[in-house]
Amino acid sequence: MLANGDTFRAGANEQLQKHADNLEKKLISHEQGSDPTAVIYDAVEYAKANDVDVVLGDTAGRLHTNDGLMDQLEKIDRNIDPDMTLFVDEAVAGQDAVNRAREFNEAAAIDGAVLTKADADPQGGAAISVAHVTGKPILFLGTGQDYDDLEAFEPEEIVDRLFD
């Protein structure tokens, strides 16, 4: 099931509801401006009561330069204690992705990363740097616009590309 912890951005509920509908998954959301920790907490409680094994808490829209939004990530991490926290960013964002990864990891102790738009970054430099600054693995690369366009990250392939 999905939980919309992106309560900051206008239209986030509608956007995530569309994805939930496409995937035939339940979505828990609150009004824009609500406490994202409360949304994710409600989703986890719903999941426990309804034998749902996985809750994807979406906290998109967090800018590492916005202290209030980063404080919310810390609160989610502290109060929900998720089994896994993933950092998701665009591979083509370069040094900005690296800076965001470092800040996110400090706020919410990530377990790994997913880099989208990897098909537009053949050298994979952001992947190496994100893994280095966080000390956590890159788990998947997004290579397209469809739900199935995720590939397991293969570090050897990135190294081979760098030395070709």
SS3 sequence of 14-75: HHHHHHHHHHCCCEECCCCCCCHHHHHHHHHHHHHHCCCCCCEEECCCCCCCCHHHHHHHHH
Predicted pLDDT of residue 94:
82
Residue 100 is encoded by which pair of tokens? Answer: 């965001």
Per-residue pLDDT of the chain (164 residues; tens, 9 = 90+): 999 999 988 899 999 999 999 999 999 999 998 999 999 999 999 999 999 999 999 987 666 667 788 888 899 999 999 999 999 998 888 888 899 999 999 989 999 999 998 877 666 667 888 999 999 999 999 989 999 999 998 888 777 766 76
Residue 50 is encoded by which pair of tokens? Answer: 């309804």
Let me know whether 115 and 160 are in one domain.
Answer: yes
First to last CA, the chain: 42
Let me know whether 99 and 159 are in one domain.
Answer: yes
Q: Running DSSP on this structure, what letter comes out for residue 6? A: -
CA dihedral over 18, 105, 85, 122, signed as positive or negative: positive
Interatomic CA distance for residues 81 and 27, integer angstroms: 20
Let me know whether 95 and 65 are in one domain.
Answer: no
Closest C-alpha to 12, from 23, 24, 3, 21: 3
Let me know whether 76 and 88 are in one domain.
Answer: no
**Edge-first strand listing for the sheet containing 27-28:** 27-28, 2-4, 56-58
Let me know whether 10 and 69 are in one domain.
Answer: yes
Query: Which residue in the block uniquely carries the two structure tokens 């469809």?
Result: 146
Let me know whether 92 and 105 are in one domain.
Answer: yes
> What's the whole-model pTM score?
0.86
CATH number at residue 38: 3.40.50.300
Predicted pLDDT of residue 155:
80
Predicted pLDDT of residue 2:
97
Let me know whether 138 and 161 are in one domain.
Answer: yes
Predicted pLDDT of residue 123:
62
> H or E segment at 4?
strand 2-4
Residue 77 is encoded by which pair of tokens? Answer: 């991490």
Predicted pLDDT of residue 95:
86
Let me know whether 59 and 99 are in one domain.
Answer: no
